[in-house]
Structure 1
């Protein structure tokens, strides 16, 4: 039986931040990179990516989990719940219960299930409560991984992500560097050799003066936070109208950019 990798989730898995117009939805991302490396190890490898940006946990469960199960994966990745944490009011215990139910359903396929913690992104001192939620969510994810014998990529513990070049200016999405590092981490977890080159990003930038800090915060709130809140208020989240990148399994060994052109 050929290996079949199915990726489920939100912008983290769709690949937002790893911009490349040669790929569907204009992004590549860690999952596409992992699929390509798996295909190098086994050209018969198949790959589907159902993830879509801005999706909350219930939306991922409703529109992706059953579809993933129907594809009979041998490996399925699951990352969801990060957009729920950004809501003004949530019940973290309820979010974790729904998260675990989704993982349990994916585990019934007999596939290896791959989970991730969320990095401890320092968004802004004004949003410190989100860090507390994120840490609580990560503790729950680690427990779910143990209970369902899932593979875990502990993104939270990866020190290279302290470098700002690993992130997009919105401070939420990984940059191309971040996606490459994560792809390499996933392949290490899967014990698969890879040819991904990880660049030295140099030293951390020097500390900012109070004036520089205020300028950066103002630019971030006006450039990213306010537009995101506006889209949420209009119920038109980022990526509104997009469809999944690879809804049906492809063979990455046959050329992903080539197959993307055929799909268009």
Structure 2
């Protein structure tokens, strides 16, 4: 069980927080203001934003982010978990398995078995562990067929959370992500606004006060013609879908030769706006 229980984490003077996962947690498509380029610039993302929110409430937040884009769940287990355990964190966020489920033949039952082994190791340290359900892909035409697999995985994950006393961020039920403005141009990673809203939702689950409302209704979208929409589809297929298929066929990953952006616990300062 979690060492925190229902304790308000903002009552602590010092908090250590480690984020584990893949591109979702690395913060893809949410560059920092000082990033020079994408994808090689520094990404912010919801996890950095959560650390910044916590730093507004706690005297000292020590934060590490070991997530790397493209990682499968076995790689997360083998490359990130032992390092996280060695840091003896108070708080861990874990999102893993999405890349496995997206791939043909990805078996939710097999993936969740590995996921549970990770959760067991993390919770044994006494850390408070937060996990995430998968997104509802019903609004994404090219991924709509994955809804059943994702829903199955989500149910397994909830059972794991119950067994080990984890907090759950139910991303599936967050209908704000039905709006395409939540997503970046690649239609797979969150936009900066999507990351901002998710960070607020994570803070809500943690019981941490944060300025803003993650569920605020979107403003009316600007009209977009049929021709513009088709041009965007063609651009997406050329710039994202074709390279993605190429990597699958050649056994390459977007995370090859990419190192974690915050491999050790470092003091986090609320230097950027979190709202």
Q: TM-score, normalised by structure 1?
A: 0.87
Per the TM alignment, residue 148 of structure 1 is displaced from its structure 2 partner at its CA by 0.9
Which of 188, 195, 199 aligns to 1:183? It is: 199
Give the unaligned 5+ runs of structure 1. Answer: 257-264
- Indicate the residue corresponding to 1:261 in structure 2: none
Mapped to 1, the partners of 2:252 and 2:89 lie a distance apart of: 31
CA distance in 1: counterparts of 2:118 and 2:263, whole angstroms: 19
Distance 1:52 1:224 in 2: 18
**Structure-1 separation of matches of 2:245 and 2:113:** 27
State the alpha-carbon separation in 1 of the partners of residues 74 and 197 from structure 2. 28
Counterpart position of 1:7: 19
Shift of 1:13: 0.5
State which of 23, 32, 56 in structure 2 corresponds to 1:20: 32
Q: Say which structure is richer in helix.
A: 1
Work out whether residues 25 and 45 of structure 2, in 8 Å CA contact, stay in contact via their aligned partners in 1.
Answer: yes
TM-superposed CA distance for 1:212, in Å, is: 7.1
Matched residue, 1:260: none
| Shift in alpha-carbon separation, 1:96–1:40, aligned structure 2, 3 A | same
Kept after mapping to 1: 8 A contact 2:71/2:255: no
Change (3 A) 1:99 1:205: farther
Q: How many angstroms does 1:90 deviate by?
A: 2.4
TM-score (norm 2): 0.84
The match for 1:203 among 194, 200, 220 is 220
In the alignment, does 2:156 pair up with 1:140?
A: yes
| Alpha carbons of structure 1 residues 61 and 76: separation in structure 2 relative to 1, 3 Å | same
- The gaps in structure 2 that reach 5 residues or longer are 1-12
CA-to-aligned-CA distance 1:77-124 (integer Å, 9 cap, x gap): 000100001111122211111111111111111010000111112465
- Cα distance in structure 2, aligned partners of 1:6 and 1:203: 37
